[in-house]
Amino acid sequence: MRLGFYAKLAVNGIRKNARLYVPYLLTCAGMVMMFYIVSYLQDTPVLAGIKGGEEMQAMLSMGSGVMGVFGAIFLLYTNSFLIRRRKREFGLYNMLGMGKGNIARVLFWEALLVLAGTMVIGLAVGVAVSKLAELLLVNIMHGNVTFTFTVSPRAMLLTAAVFCVIHVLLLIKALLQIRTASAVNLLRSESAGEKPPRANWVLAILGLILLAVAYYLAVTIKQPLSAMVMFFVAVILVILATYLLFIAGSVAICRMLQKNRRYYYKARHFVSVSSMAYRMKRNGAGLASICILSIMVLVTVSSTTGLYFGSEDSLRSRYPRDITLIAKAEDVSMLSDEKRDAARELVDAYVAEHDATAHNFRDFRVVSVTGAMKDGAITTDPQEAGRHITDSTIYQVNFLPLPDYNRICGTNETLADDEALISLKRGDYGWDSISVDSKVAYRTRKAPVVFQESGMAAVDVVDTIYVVVKDLQGLQPLLQGDNLFSQQWEYGFDSSLSDEEQSQIAFDMHEAVAEQLHQMGMYAVYFESMAANRYDFYGTYGGFFFLGILLSIVFLFAAVLIIYYKQISEGYEDQKRFEIMQKVGMTRKNIRKSINSQLLTVFFLPLVGAGIHLAFAFPMIRRMLILFNLTNTRLLVETTGFTFLAFALIYTLVYRKTSNAYYAIVSGEGERREA
């Protein structure tokens, strides 16, 4: 046979199955477009030339990898719907004398046509839209807009290579499916139902147990670092539980509905419930996939949106003052009032000389160490802490002198030598004493005002506990010899300077006074400027936000396409059943009611499940975002609620559109229109 014959068969196959192929082709082209855009933005000199651009491009580099992996998984999954629908056609070819090799050639041409068409369209649209995406990204980062249009050859080659590999994998999978099936099985593939899984109650109970464990982890973990580690464990448990509950639990529900005579023996319920029970194993897996994709969209959009719109709050949390001096001392005696006053006068004099009016001062000394705490006893030795890591809680422990605490918090507390105030930003301290390495010990009481002035505490991956003591000199037993304790002084202030002036004076001040502070016993001196780090924040958080938008679009594509294919494939499977029911007296009105009953019951379960998952995941998400300095819980609640409402609206619109396609197939209207 001539090569043109196979190409013609491939074109005819795609054209005759346009209802299935058009959404698939559009999705493939859309993923090519977005992958090119992300790859292009990694190379564009516009981003590289603005502040925070490097952080943004690092985020995009990570996102392109995630998008490529998910694109491969998603297209492999959705392609199975196409192959299943085409198996009868291939079986007919086989019965008419075409061998498996000939069918493989048809599949090869189909794969080639799909790859070429989607690649050309996707790259063309991607190149056209890439400048718009660049402008959006620059605007997110508060950079200067340029209107120079460029094309990235590297991004085009990378996109072509990635999707060529993906389509080769799709072809291999299709060939394996055709090769292992006989002609008879291919012809019967569309009518082959799936039996409900055995021991469904056992699987359903197992799913409930796994889900309960995941929810328990989500609502009980308090430390942000633990939340970050356990989040992935909880995600795996939720995915497994969701599949088990949708597959096994849905079968059990169908059986219960069938036993309810009042419900089951009604025209609008009889066909839908029996149809769902007949093939619920595959139905449940598809619904679980929709639920997982939905929660991925919700978590991604809500968290990245909260991060971006809360970036200014996060920036101020990390940098409580416009300019901050951090000076580390070799010995705690170098943090005495006299040395601190001398250092402060040095900084103030430089600020005054450069007409930078300073106000809202922040001035405190601190001795800090990371340790494992159990029953009020802190161990700072790394090896000892490692042996007790499973039954201990890791803290950043900051010792603060009482005079500094009283001055900053506006209190007038007094302490004995063996007393300490405990200040925790989150949670409560549950013991009446605290000891460190069995060398110092204090009786404790709760601090009347929570101390939260340290910007460094905002970036600690573990919780911070402040221990207010009468005098830092009492810590000498801990500080003798080689130890892990950091002894430092923080001095910050706000100013009326512009961002550029703040950044410049912080740099100049370091050059001018660092050497003098070194001579005063400060072995490490550096200045932090909030303005100098603002663009890095927007680069990082803007990158998360932009990637969140793109990945959410990809996840949404996946969910919509799965919903559409489920409606189409099940419509063809149910068509003959509804034809029989019409012959025995079922009206079109009854058909519509039955369809609505089935689809409302089935297709809104994933949305409800995603909403429940999101509600239980929210505490863990909130704690993880604390690691990114997002402490504005109200903002996160608002973005999460708005995201769910917007997604529910989109989901409902997709349901209405796809249910019309299902109705057109089972009622025969689609075939009449095509004729």
Q: What is the pLDDT of residue 161?
A: 93
Provide mean pLDDT across the span 387-408: 80
Q: Please determine, for residue 263, whether its predicted confidence score (pLDDT) is greater than 90.
A: no
Contact 388, 379 (CB under 8 A): yes
pLDDT of residue 134: 77
pLDDT average, residue stretch 646-675: 72
Burial 318-329 (b: 16+ CB within 10 A, else e): bbbbbbbbbbbb
How sure is the predictor about 165, in pLDDT bands with cuts at 50, 70 and 90? Answer: very high
* Lowest mean per-residue pLDDT among 49-53, 197-201, 231-235, 519-523: 197-201
Q: What is the mean pLDDT of residues 521-533?
A: 82
Q: 247 pLDDT exceeds 60? A: yes
User: Sorting pLDDT into bands at 50, 70 and 90, what band is 672?
Assistant: very low
Radius of gyration of the chain (CA): 32
Taking the C-alpha atoms of residue 434 and residue 472, their distance in angstroms, rounded to an integer, is 16
**Partners of residue 443 on adjacent β-strands:** 419, 433
b/e string for 418-427 if b means 16 or more Cβ within 10 A? ebbbbbbeee
Which region, left, alpha or beta, applies to residue 199 given φ > 0 means left and ψ of -120 to 50 means alpha?
A: left
pLDDT band per the 50, 70, 90 thresholds, residue 52: low
- H helix intervals, 265-318: 267-278, 280-309, 311-318
Burial class (CB in 10 A: 0-12, 13-18, 19+), 260: exposed
Q: How far apart are CA 284 and CA 602, in angstroms?
A: 9
User: 459 pLDDT band (50/70/90 cuts)?
Assistant: low
This prediction's pTM: 0.73
Q: Using 50, 70 and 90 to split pLDDT, how confident is the model at 582? A: low
- Rounded to whole angstroms, what are the CA distances from 378 to 402, 426, 430, 487, 637? 21, 18, 14, 18, 35
Strand segments, DSSP code E, in 354-404 are 358-374, 377-379, 393-401
How much is the pLDDT for 587? 65
Going by pLDDT thresholds of 50, 70 and 90, the confidence category of residue 644 is very high
Supply the pLDDT for residue 460.
61
Collect all residues with Cβ–Cβ distance below 8 Å to 74 and sequence separation of at least 6: 31, 554, 557, 558
Which of the pair, 207 or 225, is modelled with greater confidence?
A: 207
| pLDDT of 199 | 43
Q: Is 585 left (phi over 0), alpha (psi -120 to 50) or beta?
A: left
Split at pLDDT 50, 70, 90, the class of 197 is very low
3-state helix/strand/coil string of 30-97: HHHHHHHHHHHHHHCHHHHCCCCHHHHHHHHHHHHHHHHHHHHHHHHHHHHHHHHHHHHHHHHHHHCC
- pLDDT for the residue numbered 119: 93
In one-letter notation, the amino acid at residue 382 is: P
Mean pLDDT of all residues in 594-607: 71
Q: Where residue 674 falls among pLDDT bands split at 50, 70, 90?
A: very low
pLDDT, average across residues 177-198: 55
pLDDT score of 193:
45
Dihedral sign for Cα atoms in the order 140, 145, 149, 151: negative
pLDDT of 45 > 60? The answer is: yes
Number of Cβ within a 10 Å radius of residue 199: 10
Cα 154-543-223 angle, rounded to 5 deg: 135
User: Can you tell me the mean pLDDT for 35-46?
Assistant: 80
Q: Cα(369)–Cα(462) distance, rounded to whole angstroms?
A: 12
Q: Which residue has the higher pLDDT, 265 or 659?
A: 659
Cα separation, 109 vs 63, in Å, equals: 32
**Averaged pLDDT, 293-312:** 86
Over residues 424-428, the mean pLDDT reads 74
- In whole angstroms, give the CA distance from residue 20 to residue 80: 11
Helix (H) or strand (E) holding 465, with range, is strand 463-469
pLDDT bucket at 384, cuts 50 / 70 / 90: low
Question: CA–CA separation, 431 vs 433, rounded Å?
Answer: 6
Q: What is the mean pLDDT of residues 2-12?
A: 76
| Measured CA distances, 633 to 314, 349, 626, 639 (Å) | 12, 40, 10, 10
The predicted model gives 244-254 an average pLDDT of 73
Amino acid making up residue 420: A
Q: What does pLDDT average to over the chain? A: 78
CA pair distance 181, 179, nearest whole angstrom: 6
Q: Which of 50-54, 423-427, 528-532, 647-651 has the highest mean pLDDT?
A: 647-651
Q: What is the pLDDT of residue 385?
A: 62
DSSP string, 618-674: HHHHHHHHHTTT---HHHHHHHHHHHHHHHHHHHHHHHHHHHHHHHHHHTTHHHHHH
Domain map (residue ranges) of the chain: 1-192, 194-303+549-669, 323-496
The predicted model gives 407-413 an average pLDDT of 89
Find which of 177-191, 287-301, 584-598 is predicted with most confidence, using mean pLDDT: 287-301
pLDDT at residue 468, rounded to an integer? 92
Confidence of residue 580 (pLDDT cuts 50, 70, 90): low
pLDDT reported for residue 286: 74
Using CA atoms of 610, 612, 615, 620 in order, give the dihedral in degrees to the nearest 10.
Answer: -80
Mean pLDDT for 213-225 is 80
In this predicted structure, the answer to whether residue 184 has a pLDDT above a threshold of 60 is no
Residue 283 banded pLDDT, cuts 50, 70, 90: low
Task: For the chain, give the percent of residues with pLDDT over 70.
Answer: 76
Highest mean pLDDT among 125-129, 195-199, 390-394: 125-129
Flag whether pLDDT at 160 surpasses 60: yes
Residue 194's pLDDT is what? 44
| pLDDT, greater one: 242 or 180 | 242
What pLDDT was estimated at residue 20? 78
Stretch 500-512: mean pLDDT, rounded? 81
